[in-house]
Structure 1
Amino acid sequence: MTVPSTPITARERLLEVIRILEAYSDEDDRLSIHDIHSRFPEDSQVGIGAVREDVAALEESIVFPVSAVQEKLGMPKHYYYDGRPFEIHELRLLMDAISAAKFISRNETNRLLMKIRKLTSRRLAKQLTNELHVAEPSAQDATNIVATVQLLHEATHEKHIVAFQYGRYGTDLQFQLSNEGQDYIIHPLGLVWNNDRYYLVAYYPSVDDIRQYRVDRMRNVRVQDEQFVPNPYFDLQAYTKKMFHMFGGELISLEARFSDKLINVVIDRFGLDANIQDHEDGTFRLKAQVAMSEGLVRWLFRWGGDVKVMHPQELVSRMKEEAEKMYKHYL
């Protein structure tokens, strides 16, 4: 015995019209009333006249923007959903950013990409099937960084103190907690994205200093009920601009001579407003306020003999020590 189908309500019919327009229409792929009606389930018992009334109501609505195109007078109108918040190239940028983020697992990446494709019509979503291929595989573990990042964002916004354990991997490839496993209690000031990693910049009251913590090395992160009052004069962007590879340190006045071929490297790092003096011998001089750190030394050494530190003397001495150490390795 066949069970008769139950007609859908007027509200359900309108919602189905909205779903069809969102999924199957766009500016270049418009639908007629017959096209929309044909996408209803056969047992829905919906007449084409009712669909026409729903579409006309949506056309006049400011809540669900539907545009109508009529090529000639007397010809049928064609409709499309005109309220998408993202252009197709913007969705591509979002997808590429997610694919390039090494801290997101493959399964999580696929799930997010599927959601992004639903933000446009099915026809346009087919243009988003090719994915960005990342040259270097992720070396990070399965720590739930996504959830931790969200937690830290909320704590920063709400100005709540955060407690966590911190550590790093040893030569035995086992994760080892620092500070004898004791909690770090900090005031979160902001998250920074650097070299494919998240860093938390925070005030550490125990030492009265601002520190940086790699989020993938944080464990057992908890947001405390207690709140803090941040320094109103602290500028996160200015602070991180002086750092190299997120290493903190005492500010110094760097002066170094670079080969001309490194001009774009220096501009990428210091910006077009960098204090650069061009010389006629194939070099230029850079002056900048930076943090004295291992990160700075490593960055300068990356360019070998194409850079020479002139000032300060403590950095010159540090570069000489590192050069001698490297030379002795190859004797």
Structure 2
Amino acid sequence: MARGANQKLKLPLLERILLQETDEEHPMTVQELIAALEARGVGAERKSIYDDMEALRQLDVDVQSRKGKSPGWFVGARTFELAELKLLVDAVQSCKFITRKKSDALIAKLETLASRHEARQLQRQVYVDRRVKTMNESVYYNIDKLHAAISGAHAVTFKYFEYNVRKEKVFRREGRRYQVSPYGLLWDNENYYLAGFDHQHAELRHYRVDKMAELAVTCLPRQGDGTCENFDIASYAQKHFGMFSGREGQVTLRCRKGLVGVVLDRFGQDVMLVPDGEEHFTATVRAVVSPQFLGWVFGLGDGVAVTGPDWAVAALEEQMEAVGRQYR
């Protein structure tokens, strides 16, 4: 590109140079900016640079100048602060459902939101205890399809699988497609789940997104509005421990006072706590009494006891008996 040609590219090129090359610690002088433009085949004069900076300000680019020991022009505030980008990078690296390949691609895109100097600080590794990255990259795209289906109130179809001991996919329902009307996506225990109305069983169920295959959004209108009319995704996630199914109901827990924080963390700030003597309190919560819920109770030892209803107490006793038989 000849010098002085394509002057229409000058302003966007200047913005790109500033965004990529500068930050508060790395300003560029006017002469360095002119040289960077000329290296890209666009000529510039000193006076025109000042006019261009004013034009960029009017376009809401936070260009700033500094005099003194380290003079020059740089971009100040950006869409994302460096601390926010670090947080996003950590979240991407820690996320189980995003494959390593997709993690690297997303982080590379996040790096473009900082200067190249600050981007080096984003090239870091986050260690999460016992994290296992999924091998199913289609999860990333399935989530996008499911959001579109929810937004458009359309049903979806998919095949659903588990793994056998040889790590092979085994499709449920002998490989027949599920037909589900999606109502919400939720994140629980490092996995994405779809909560939706199962057309075959005419009830609300949930499915792990990473175990879906050949997902397709149909033109069929969503069903289950009568059953799911008051569906609340947050309430649904709170009741289903680890997304295990079971009998749902109001369960009364008698807990030691030292476990108030544990109960509030699990069931939210709206749960009512009633003092029960000097050292205990009771809490009545709505929960799905599943093996995972009972495991949570077991994990708190003698600090928590299920006191009602009778069927929930019986379920706990049966679980204890079943576990005890394993070791006799």
Aligned position for 2:189 = 195
Q: What per-residue deviation string (whole Å, max 9, x for no partner) do you get for residues 14-65 of structure 1?
A: 2221111111223454333123123235473624337525524524x53252
- Give the Cα separation in 1 of the matches to 2:113 and 2:135: 31
Partner-residue secondary structure (3-state), 2:49: helix
Q: Which runs of 5+ in 1 are unaligned?
A: none
Q: What per-residue deviation string (whole Å, max 9, x for no partner) do you get for residues 173-217 of structure 1?
A: 322111121111110001100000000000113222100001111
Number of paired residues? 325
Aligned position for 2:210 = 216
Aligned position for 1:97 = 91
The answer to whether 1:303 aligns with 2:300 is yes
Aligned position for 2:281 = 284
Aligned position for 2:104 = 110
Aligned position for 1:130 = 124
- The 5 Å alignment of 1:261-280 reads 261-280=258-277
Classify 1:184/1:45 alpha carbon distance in 2 versus 1 (closer, same or farther; 3 Å): closer
Say if 1:198 and 1:215, in contact at 8 Å, map to a contact too.
Answer: yes
Aligned position for 2:291 = 294
Q: What per-residue deviation string (whole Å, max 9, x for no partner) do you get for residues 62-86 of structure 1?
A: 32524333559xx998433346211
TM-score normalized by structure 1?
A: 0.87
- Give the Cα separation in 1 of the matches to 2:40 and 2:95: 46
Q: Which of 6, 14, 19 is the equivalent residue of 1:17? A: 14
Classify 1:301/1:139 alpha carbon distance in 2 versus 1 (closer, same or farther; 3 Å): farther
- Give the Cα separation in 1 of the matches to 2:137 and 2:10: 45
User: What letter is aligned with 2:115?
Assistant: S
- The 5 Å alignment of 1:1-331 reads 5=2, 7-42=4-39, 44=41, 46-49=43-46, 51-52=48-49, 55-59=52-56, 61-69=57-65, 71=67, 78-82=72-76, 84-138=78-132, 140-228=134-222, 230=225, 231-331=228-328
Q: CA deviation at 1:223?
A: 0.8
Say if 2:154 and 2:221, in contact at 8 Å, map to a contact too.
Answer: yes
| Identical-pair percentage | 26
User: What letter is aligned with 2:61?
Assistant: P
Partner-residue secondary structure (3-state), 1:111: helix
User: What letter is aligned with 2:36?
Assistant: R
Say if 1:32 and 1:76, in contact at 8 Å, map to a contact too.
Answer: no
- Give the Cα separation in 1 of the matches to 2:232 and 2:54: 51
Q: Which runs of 5+ in 2 are unaligned?
A: none
- Give the Cα separation in 1 of the matches to 2:151 and 2:296: 33
Q: CA deviation at 1:281?
A: 5.0
Say if 1:256 and 1:286, in contact at 8 Å, map to a contact too.
Answer: yes
- Give the Cα separation in 2 of the matches to 1:255 and 1:176: 39
Q: CA deviation at 1:296?
A: 1.9
Classify 1:246/1:76 alpha carbon distance in 2 versus 1 (closer, same or farther; 3 Å): closer
Partner-residue secondary structure (3-state), 2:241: coil
Say if 1:165 and 1:178, in contact at 8 Å, map to a contact too.
Answer: yes
TM-score normalized by structure 2?
A: 0.88
- Give the Cα separation in 1 of the matches to 2:203 and 2:326: 36
- Give the Cα separation in 2 of the matches to 1:90 and 1:328: 51
Q: Which moved more, 1:283-292 or 1:88-97?
A: 283-292
